[in-house]
Structures are given as structure tokens and as C-alpha cells.
Structure 1
Amino acid sequence: MKGPEFSALRTLFEEARRQAARHGRPIVTVSSSPAPDLNPLQLYAANRQGFFWCSRHPDLTLFGLGSQWQAQATGNQRLTEINRQWSELCSDALIDGPNPPILLGGIRFDQQRTMAAHWTAFSDASFHLAHWLVSENHSGRWLSCQRTIEASDDPAALARDSLAAYERMLDNPPPAAAPAAHVIERSALPAVQWQANVERALQAIGRGDLSKVVLARQVRYQLQASLDSGAVMCRLHDQRSQSHLFAMHRGDNCFLGATPERLLSCQDGYLTTHALAGSAPRGLTPDEDQALGDRLLADRKEQHEHRLVVETIAQRLGDMASEVQAAARPSLLKLATVQHLSTPIRARLKEGYSLLEGVQALHPTPAVGGLPSATAMSFIRHHEDFDRGWYAAPVGWLDSEGNGDFLVALRSALLAPRHCHLFAGCGIVAGSVPASEYRETEIKLASMEQALLLRW
């Protein structure tokens, strides 16, 4: 494969340095070219660092390595602040090739919650501009060098540095077959205590305080050896079905998952999302699977839970979008171990609004928080025994042209040296049965436990 050229990078960086001197601030540059021989998944598996993304409908795979620029923010308007910083950086971007600069990152589920020690590497809102980005979509595979240039920089030195980083990215050998991860200790809130929280939620619903609240579980594992995030992602990729994949590294920690839920995407001014609520297991035979799906479609409790999510998403998008359209009835989204009710929603983004403002308006959806939202979040803070961190929060990417895609980080795990944390939750509404809800979380946890190859 023909790699990036020193002269082309130096020329681009020289022009950026001139513009940086003229404007008195950094200039972001992107140089992209076809890279048919580069496989994003294989590169992530070999490097085990950076950012990995694999979304469906439309299909897009990304692998980003190194950080050339970072945006961080806290508070209720954190995504508005990220959007401001990103828009300012990209206002005079120099782009050589067809691909704009892309920013990658995510946010915490609840910035009001006290942060747990194992989440300290993941701030309230954290986004990075990768130094090298490998992408694969309908147009093929692409390699992009993304750099911010200051007026005081040496373009030739930066070009040499970028090429050295590119060579290091390619030098890592593919991972060897990873053995099963042996668990020393598994700990979680006992089933009876978690089900007691469900009973408290049902009492609040019965009093009319809540219509719905989502209660989650955290399972902690102490391991004999650290997990290989690259090998885990390869297994998730093999069994992904209709799920979207993501992995984000911060130091020695990696947050990854295979989520069925897209929060919000934007392409050429059009927003797309889907309501996802209501669950049932998969059947062991096609007939059993069909029967379970039909029962889910006819279940009044599950339909009620799903309808709350559809109505809330449409309402929250109303101020910033027009032509909001939702399917008349849900369909089944079938994953490896569970099937969900799913309703696609589409809208046109109004002038003056951004994708990140849409993400901020939707999070947390009733599918991960509850209704009314503020009351449900208060209930979660008081009754869940752990900090969700980035679990059930938005993770994704956006480019300088306003396009992007954000997922809800479900079916996920936080990997740390010789430890990991798994997460799963379910929606509690009138008619929920505590023991059944607990079994649902076990089903959701099982797919990630299988991908991690955890053994006792």
C-alpha cells in the first residue's frame, strides 16, 4: 500500500502555520487518501488503544489512534460547550481530500453523581481528535492524518512525527488467541436487594410519582490477568447481529460494548433515531422465537413502556426539528440473546441547531432513565448502589460539517488492569415483576460475559 507522503503533509502543515499566524489561533488540518489494505478492526485489535466504532444502517467503521486535540466540559450544558469549542476549531479547517475532521468521545450518564474511582479517567464530557483515523464505509477504506497546527510549529518536524506515528500504528502484530479470563471474585448487589429496589420503584409508580424508572446492575470481576480489549472486540464483532460496537480508551482503562440502541444521528441535516424499549428473550427454535416475539408485540405492559419512549423522543426533538415522523407501530429488533420493540424516528434539524444539542435534549431517554425524567434520575441516584459512569450515556462522533452519530452505551463493560465491570438494566413500569426484571438483566449480562470469555 502506498503510504502518506512527507512532502504532501509538510505542504499542508506549512499553509496551516501561515493561517495560524494570521488568525492567532490553531488551525486543524486533515489529509486523507484511499487505504484499501487497512482494516480498522485488525488495526484496533493490534494496537488496543484509541477509539473503535462499528455502526449499522448505515455501515461505518472507524479506528482512531493518538490525540491531537481534546475538548472537555462539565455541567448541564457540557455538550453545548463541546460544540462551541469544536465549531471554533473547525472554522478555518484545511482539508486535503474528501474527508472532514472527525471528533470522537462521550459523556457521563449523570454528572451530578459522585464519580467512582474506576471512572476517574473518563470525565463528564471528553472528546478527542485522533492523530490517525482509518475509516470504512460505502465508498471504501480511507486513511486520514488529523493535526492541529500552531504558528510556532515546524511543519517538516510535524510531518516526520506524523509519519513515525503512522509506522508505529502498523508495526504492532495481530493479537494471539486469548485464553479464557479466570475470575478470582465476582461481586454484585444480591438479587433480593436489587429486587427490593424494584419494589420501591413500583410503590413510587403506584403513588403516581413515576411512570417509569430504569434500574441497572453492576457486576464487578477481579481477574487473574488483564483482558485483551482487541480480542474482546473481535469476538463482539463476530456475534454483533444488529448491534453497534464501540471502544474508548483512557489510559489503562477501556470502555467498550455492543449496544442495540442508537441515540441520534445526523446526515445532511436529517436526524434519525429509534425508540427501543420492551424486551423478551430469544427462542431456542425458530417457532419458539417467533412465539416470544409475537407475545412481546402483544404485551400491553411492554407496549406501554415502549410508547412512553416514542412520545418523549418526539416531544424533546420538537423544538429543534421539523417533520418529525415515527412509525405507526413497533417492529422487533432481534439480537443474539434478546429481542426488543423498536420504532424508527426521523426529523429535519432546524437552522441554528446542532447534533450535539439534539443529543443533549434526548439524554437521558426514558429507555435509560425514566419518566418524569427529573424524578426518575433522583430515584436512580438514591437507590442504585453504583456510579453508572459512561454506561447508558451517549458515545459517538461528529464531523466539522454537522454530521455524526451517537449511541447509547448499553451492553457494555469497563475494562481495567485485572478487573472489569459489567452493566445491564431494565425499565420498571406498572405491572413489572421484580424476579422477572432480574432475569432480564441476567440475559443482557450474558452476551458480554460470553464475549469476555469469563470463567469461574
Structure 2
Amino acid sequence: MNKDLINFKLPEELKNKKIGEPTLISWVFPIEASSLISDYERTSGYYNEHFYFEKAVDQSSIYGIGEIVETFSSILTNATVAMTGPVELSSGLFDEKTNNTANWGNLDQSVSYLPKIIRTEKHLKQWVTINIVVKSNDDLRDVWVENMKELNVFFEIENTVNSLPTNILMKEELKVSEWLKTVSDCVAHLKESETLDKIVLARQLKVTTEKNIQPIDVLKKLRREQPDTYRFVVAKNQTYFIGATPERLLQATKEEFATVCVAGSIKRGKNAEEDFKLGTELLNDQKNVMEHHYVVKWLQEEMSQLTTSLEDNIPVSLLKNRDIQHLFLPIRGQRKSGISFLDGIKELHPSPALGGLPKEEATKWIREHEYYARGLYGGPLGWRNIVEDTGEMVVGIRSGIITGNTAILYAGCGIVEASIPELEREETKVKFQPMLRALGDEINE
């Protein structure tokens, strides 16, 4: 990149502003630069804490480094493009009430911060956002100069990651017999309960490799092999939460709230004919249709509380990723006045696709019976513009936690009265495959 392009002078618009209180300056510049993924590959090894989020469907991505720790009482920004300006990046725990976060190391708590530097890409166009907090006009000039130095460091970093192929030494399904018993206990509990319809149970797969796992290599494989998903990396001190999720929790524009129901699944076929047959089977399978119906009904009821009206007559379709296909239904409506984006996230998380029905009762049962620490798995993850109250949060599934040469992968399945433990285990095996492929596993087609 041409260094002249990152020697941004203090804009005249800011020079003429009277600043007399702690103020966040969030200023956006269009730039001529390589792709965002190239910048991420080049710099991610340098920054111990960073956040990467990518939405494939509209070719948009955001990469944040550094953290604004100062408090402020006002905001000045020129942002007009989504994912630029005063954007908070966050990855929340599945269950904020649990203390069980074993295996999560440096990422054992929710992550949420406003980055100092934000790189954004949308439809192949590039931007950089500078976020600083100043108390006066004189302070602004000094802080601006210092921030330019940090920005130059970012653009001058040379690739620090030595990507070398690594072999998987071991794959171990953890606590399988205990998990199968939990599924059986869950089915029995559902049959006895007068209120519970569904509980989602997750399990773990431990992968050990010959050499340390390079997150950028995992991300690049996910981008190549899971093209229609949201990809993400949350990094803190050599611990990485990484994945490729198909599931949006909530998207907020100024006018609309939108979510999706992704529940009920079956593997992909080896050819077009088999794939069509399996998809048709899924659309007519009693257990999966029932599971999907529970989630749709709940989401429509919750979204009705957040919106003035919902779009109707949208048919259920199939969402197809490389290894798995799901029953899929988009749900959207006009935002009610006074309902914030965070209000909506609080209402929808955890959705029945990750927790169960009713939400509180199912989550409590999971907390008391599941052997595994879910941590950030299944939690809300994404971005929020703190001025416009817009953004998008996804559900952190098809994911794993990586430290050194070890990855703990997560997969879950919805348990209803008709569930059969061994079949649920097979379903989770399919859901492990995207991350296994990204780690270099050779999976028989």
C-alpha cells in the first residue's frame, strides 16, 4: 500500500469542532489497499487480541485491533458505510450464569470492545476507521499524530505467520458414553415434562496436531470450503475461537429486524440425485419437522414483540452447506420504536435452535446436566454500530477453541421426545466435519 495514503491529515471538519468533554472521534477513510483477508493474514500474528468477522452473502468483512478503554460522553463520526465508524465487536458466552468455562483459557469470559483501528471491506471496496478519545482540541491534535503512528505500524507489518502443513495426530470424542446417557435422560425428562418441548445438547471432539495450529490456515480453508457462511476469529493471547456458522441470530437495520430459523438437519448427498433425495427426506421427516416447527413458532412469537409486523407466506426451504443441509426459514419485520438492538438480542438468545423450549427452563437443564463447558460456543457474536444501533449478530456454532496444537470442537443437536441417542451422535459427527476439514482432516466422502 502507498504510504502517502495512510498519512491522513486531521480533517478540517474536526479542526473546526469545539471539543470540551471526553469525545470519541470515529473517522472513516476510503483506502486503496489489498483485500481485507490479505491484511488479516499479514498482521493477525502481530496482534495478540483481535476480532475478525465476515459475511459471505454480501461480501462484507470487518477486522478490529486494539481497544478503546477511555470513557466518553459524546461521539463525532463521518461514517456512512455499514461496518465502519463506531462499531463494537462482541462474542458472548452461551450462558452468562454458569461458571464452567474449562478449556477456554484466555477466552473464558465474554468479549466486547470498540477497536482503535477497524479495517472494513464491502463489495471489494476498502475502508479504515480510526477511533480515538480526546478531551480538547489541543488533545485532538496530539492524539491524532500518535494514532497515525499506530496506523503506519499496521500497514507496514510484514507477514509474521509461518504456515506449514500439520498432521492430525489424534481425534477423540470426549465423554461419549456420558453424553449418550444424557441424551437418554433428556428424552425421558421431555416425556415426563408438561412444559418442555426441546433441549439442545452439545458435545466435544478433541483434535491434537503435530505442530501448532495456525488460525489463518483454518480460516482460509473455512472460506474456501464453507462459502455461504459467516466466518469469524476471536483472538486473545494465543487462544482462538474460530468457526463458520450458517445461523444469524439477529440483524438490525434502522428500519428492520431480521432473524432466521435453522433447525433440523441431514447430511449432503454424494451426488445431485442422492442430495435431492436426502433433502426431500428432511423436508418430510417427522422428528426434524417437529423440531423446526417448535423453533419457528417461538421465533415468530418473540419477533412479534420486537416488530410492528412480520412478513408472512415465506415457505420453508433447504440451506445447503458442504457437509450438511438444514430446514431454513427467514423471519423479518419492521422495528418497533424504542426497541434497541441489544434488547432484541437479549430476547432471542439463546434461541430454541441452541437452547431449547421454553428458553429459561431448557437452559437451566443444560446448565445442570451437560458435561461440557460451552463457553463462547453458541453465544451471540458479531458487530454493532453504537450510534445507529444497527448491526448483525450470529450464533457461534460450527466452531472450536484453538490453543497451540490442540483444538476442542463443538457440535449440538436438538433433542425431542422422538430422539434416538445414537442417531443424534451421528448428526453431531456431520456437524464436526466443517472444522475437521479446516484442520486438515481427510474425510471420506
Q: How much is the aligned-residue C-alpha RMSD, in angstroms? A: 2.4
Note closer, same or farther for the CA distance 1:167–1:454 as it changes in structure 2 (3 Å cut). Answer: farther
Note closer, same or farther for the CA distance 1:15–1:94 as it changes in structure 2 (3 Å cut). Answer: farther
Q: Write the distance in 1 (CA, Å) between the matches of 2:88 and 2:431.
A: 30
Q: What TM-score do you get using the length of structure 2 for normalisation? A: 0.90
Note closer, same or farther for the CA distance 1:195–1:117 as it changes in structure 2 (3 Å cut). Answer: closer
After superposition, the C-alpha distances for 1:246-269 in whole angstroms (9 at most, x for unaligned) are: 111122211111000000001122
Q: Write the distance in 1 (CA, Å) between the matches of 2:103 and 2:180.
A: 25
- Corresponding residue of 1:135: 120
Give 1:93's match in structure 2, choosing from 72, 75, 86: 75
Displacement of 1:429: 1.1
- Corresponding residue of 2:218: 232
After superposition, the C-alpha distances for 1:12-41 in whole angstroms (9 at most, x for unaligned) are: 77667x52xx33xx2111221212323211
The letter for the 2-side match of 1:58 is D
* Contact 1:52/1:247 (8 A) holds in 2: yes
The letter for the 2-side match of 1:245 is R
User: Are 1:273 and 2:259 an aligned pair?
Assistant: yes
- Corresponding residue of 2:9: 7
Displacement of 1:181: 4.3
- Corresponding residue of 1:78: none
Give 2:134's match in structure 1, choosing from 149, 158, 161: 149
* Contact 1:45/1:233 (8 A) holds in 2: no
* Contact 1:107/1:123 (8 A) holds in 2: no
Give 1:344's match in structure 2, choosing from 317, 330, 337: 330
* Contact 1:6/1:160 (8 A) holds in 2: no
Residues 140-289 of structure 1 correspond to what in structure 2 (within 5 A)?
A: 140-151=125-136, 154-174=139-159, 175-183=161-169, 186-209=171-194, 210-289=196-275
User: Are 1:116 and 2:101 an aligned pair?
Assistant: yes
Note closer, same or farther for the CA distance 1:382–1:188 as it changes in structure 2 (3 Å cut). Answer: farther
- Corresponding residue of 1:52: 52
Give 2:301's match in structure 1, choosing from 303, 315, 320: 315
* Contact 1:100/1:401 (8 A) holds in 2: no
Secondary structure of residue in 1 paired with 2:342: helix
The letter for the 1-side match of 2:295 is V
User: Are 1:360 and 2:356 an aligned pair?
Assistant: no
Residues 414-425 of structure 1 correspond to what in structure 2 (within 5 A)?
A: 414-425=401-412
* Contact 1:45/1:229 (8 A) holds in 2: no
* Contact 1:13/1:149 (8 A) holds in 2: no
Question: Which is further off, 410-419 or 147-156?
Answer: 147-156
- Corresponding residue of 1:81: none
Displacement of 1:241: 2.5
Q: Write the distance in 1 (CA, Å) between the matches of 2:56 and 2:8.
A: 35
Q: Write the distance in 2 (CA, Å) between the matches of 1:117 and 1:229.
A: 21
Displacement of 1:190: 3.6
Q: Write the distance in 2 (CA, Å) between the matches of 1:226 and 1:180.
A: 8
Displacement of 1:449: 1.1
Structure 2 residue runs without a partner (length 5+): none
Q: Write the distance in 2 (CA, Å) between the matches of 1:142 and 1:336.
A: 31
Displacement of 1:69: 3.6
Displacement of 1:139: 7.8
Note closer, same or farther for the CA distance 1:37–1:165 as it changes in structure 2 (3 Å cut). Answer: same
- Corresponding residue of 2:36: 40
Give 2:368's match in structure 1, choosing from 352, 377, 382: 382
Q: Write the distance in 2 (CA, Å) between the matches of 1:158 and 1:13.
A: 13
* Contact 1:413/1:420 (8 A) holds in 2: yes
The letter for the 1-side match of 2:422 is A
Note closer, same or farther for the CA distance 1:187–1:194 as it changes in structure 2 (3 Å cut). Answer: same
- Corresponding residue of 1:73: none
* Contact 1:410/1:424 (8 A) holds in 2: yes
The letter for the 1-side match of 2:128 is L
Q: Write the distance in 1 (CA, Å) between the matches of 2:367 and 2:326.
A: 26
Note closer, same or farther for the CA distance 1:423–1:157 as it changes in structure 2 (3 Å cut). Answer: same
Residues 385-404 of structure 1 correspond to what in structure 2 (within 5 A)?
A: 385-399=371-385, 400-404=387-391
Q: Write the distance in 2 (CA, Å) between the matches of 1:327 and 1:277.
A: 19
After superposition, the C-alpha distances for 1:250-293 in whole angstroms (9 at most, x for unaligned) are: 22211111000000001122011110100000000010001000
Displacement of 1:219: 2.1
* Contact 1:327/1:345 (8 A) holds in 2: no
Note closer, same or farther for the CA distance 1:454–1:207 as it changes in structure 2 (3 Å cut). Answer: same
Note closer, same or farther for the CA distance 1:445–1:97 as it changes in structure 2 (3 Å cut). Answer: closer
Q: Write the distance in 2 (CA, Å) between the matches of 1:153 and 1:129.
A: 23
User: Are 1:28 and 2:24 an aligned pair?
Assistant: yes
Q: Write the distance in 1 (CA, Å) between the matches of 2:427 and 2:320.
A: 15
Displacement of 1:436: 1.0
After superposition, the C-alpha distances for 1:316-340 in whole angstroms (9 at most, x for unaligned) are: 2222211122554310000010000
* Contact 1:394/1:408 (8 A) holds in 2: yes
* Contact 2:187/2:419 (8 A) holds in 1: yes
Secondary structure of residue in 2 paired with 1:218: strand
Secondary structure of residue in 1 paired with 2:74: coil
* Contact 1:254/1:415 (8 A) holds in 2: yes
Displacement of 1:151: 4.5
Q: Write the distance in 2 (CA, Å) between the matches of 1:118 and 1:155.
A: 43
Number of positions where the alignment pairs a residue of Structure 1 with one of Structure 2: 431
Secondary structure of residue in 1 paired with 2:311: strand
Q: Write the distance in 2 (CA, Å) between the matches of 1:345 and 1:116.
A: 32
The letter for the 2-side match of 1:285 is N
Q: Write the distance in 2 (CA, Å) between the matches of 1:405 and 1:47.
A: 25
* Contact 2:188/2:417 (8 A) holds in 1: no
* Contact 1:278/1:306 (8 A) holds in 2: yes
User: Are 1:412 and 2:412 an aligned pair?
Assistant: no
Identity across the alignment (%): 27
- Corresponding residue of 1:332: 318
Question: Which is further off, 120-129 or 277-286?
Answer: 120-129
Secondary structure of residue in 1 paired with 2:413: strand
Displacement of 1:447: 1.3
- Corresponding residue of 1:62: 62
Q: What TM-score do you get using the length of structure 1 for normalisation? A: 0.88
